[in-house]
Structure 1
Amino acid sequence: MDILAWFDINNTLVNIPIGGGYAMSWIEAVGTVFGLLCIWYASQEKTINYVFGLINVSLFAIIFFQIQLYGILMLQLFFFCANIYGWYAWTRPSSEDGDMLEVRWLNKQKMAFTAAVSVAAIAIMTVFIDPIFFALANISVDVLNTFGADLARPELSPDAFPFWDSVMTVLSIVAQILMTRKYVENWMLWVVINMISVCIYAAQGVYALSIEYAILLFIAANGSRQWMKTAKQNQQSKQHDQAAEVKA
């Protein structure tokens, strides 16, 4: 098989007999597997999740380029950078004492700030999602054309679910940032995102993606459970150390 042909979305690996039939390409199948591995190992607090994450977003960026979804493609570029930062943050001391980043909860101030920014961003994006993504798509095409891509500007239809699409986009960015800092709340956001995704993709007839996000929903729920347990243990350990210092 020609290596370039492997990246073609029309190079079908298997036809899935769901809905009206779904031809899954090699690149989508492999990208999905790496995505599932990324989320699973992140739920286990394993740094290798970022390796799988980088491969996943790179492959999906190629897919979105081919189907001309340039706004989502640019979101993959954000995830690529976030994975690199997360890998760095999880493997470097977070203080001068050499302490590593540990799983914990957001404090009340950070929680309020995160919620306020998220609500505001969702509201703004819901109103302006079409012009924002149309502009991003055209900018992306112009940038790619400077490198000789010779692409025509895409003709885009209005967003089918502007509010829910905005919720998924904003919360995905927030959840990814929280994950890089090991905040438990990231998994709760992924649970919400995946629940919405299952419903939206099923409503649009993209049943393979709906099933994939149902699997991700299970992994995110397990991640919430695991990280809540770890955060509790970390908090108890910190309280024990502080008590020991007082006695000393």
Structure 2
Amino acid sequence: MMDVALADAWAWIDPWLAPWWTLWGVPVSRLEAWAFVLSLAMVGFNLRVNPMGWPLAIASSLLYGLLFARSGLYGEGSLQIVFIALAVWGWWQWLRGTDDRQQALRVRGLTARGKAGAVLATLVLWPVIGLLLDHATDSDVPYWDALPTAGSLVGQWLLGRKWVDNWPCWLAVNLVSMALFAHKALWLTVVLYGIFALLSVLGWRQWQRRARGLDGGLPA
């Protein structure tokens, strides 16, 4: 009964999920297409360390939250709500945030201890989120869904603080997410996350150059 009520609560989204065009013979909805475009634009701004990526993150997270919730990916759907809150925080951090020396945030890399902490945080969050999804939703892949959810939370925090290490974190998240979305037949989103994976490698290299002062004087 609870599962039926949960599904019915999202029925109003269905007109936006109607086929708009096809990709390799698979229908793509208007909602997924717009989320795709906004997400690509967001990553482009992030690569340039431009704060305009954050309002785009808010908009794309809202659309993807609706898409994932209706597809039964409640971990990914709930994550978008957290993403919106983190995007507001990240936007503020990039505009007004300071580092430990009370200087404006700049692109820099984590220490070995910081990297270990990020990995540990992901490993702790994963089973906690998986257990919650397993008991509170009708997801058929609760722990699989929980892994990129946990990694994304850590990645978003790293991005908000301008740590270079957000990019390898996103690379791992994107690769796991591609398989998850393929399982749900969200093929345009699979393509998007494949592009995200490639952009994560590009962003990693570009931010490493910024951290070393080899960015040609571009603002960080």
Normalising by the residue count of structure 1, what TM-score does the alignment of the two structures yield? 0.72
- Secondary structure of 1:76's counterpart equals helix
Counterpart of 1:225, as a letter, is R
Does structure 1 residue 108 correspond to structure 2 residue 102? Answer: no
CA contact (8 A) 2:32 2:188 kept: no
- Secondary structure of 1:233's counterpart equals coil
Counterpart of 1:179, as a letter, is L
Does structure 1 residue 166 correspond to structure 2 residue 173? Answer: no
CA deviation after TM superposition for structure 1 residue 87, in Å:
0.2
Gaps of 5+ in 2: 1-11
1:154-193 pair list within 5 angstroms: 156-159=138-141, 162=143, 164-193=144-173
Tell me the percent identity. Answer: 23
CA separation of 1:228 and 1:134: change in aligned 2, threshold 3 A: same
CA deviation after TM superposition for structure 1 residue 36, in Å:
1.0
Instruction: Give 1:50's match in structure 2, choosing from 40, 49, 54.
Output: 54
CA contact (8 A) 1:188 1:220 kept: yes
Counterpart of 1:64, as a letter, is F
CA deviation after TM superposition for structure 1 residue 74, in Å:
1.7
Q: Per-residue displacement from partner, 1:189-221 (whole Å, max 9, x unpaired)?
A: 111112222344345544332212111111111
1:61-210 pair list within 5 angstroms: 61-94=65-98, 99-122=103-126, 124-125=127-128, 129=130, 131-137=131-137, 156-159=138-141, 162=143, 164-202=144-182, 205-210=185-190
How many pairs are equivalent? 204
CA deviation after TM superposition for structure 1 residue 187, in Å:
0.3
CA deviation after TM superposition for structure 1 residue 14, in Å:
1.1
Higher mean displacement: 54-63 or 96-105: 96-105
CA contact (8 A) 1:194 1:213 kept: yes
CA contact (8 A) 2:13 2:66 kept: no
CA deviation after TM superposition for structure 1 residue 136, in Å:
4.3
Counterpart of 2:46, as a letter, is A
Q: For the residues of structure 2 that align with 1:98 and 1:115, how far apart are their CA atoms?
A: 26
Q: For the residues of structure 2 that align with 1:68 and 1:196, how far apart are their CA atoms?
A: 17
Instruction: Give 1:213's match in structure 2, choosing from 193, 197, 218.
Output: 193
Gaps of 5+ in 1: 138-155, 238-248
CA deviation after TM superposition for structure 1 residue 67, in Å:
4.0
Normalising by the residue count of structure 2, what TM-score does the alignment of the two structures yield? 0.80
Counterpart of 1:201, as a letter, is F
CA deviation after TM superposition for structure 1 residue 7, in Å:
7.9
Instruction: Give 1:37's match in structure 2, choosing from 14, 17, 41.
Output: 41
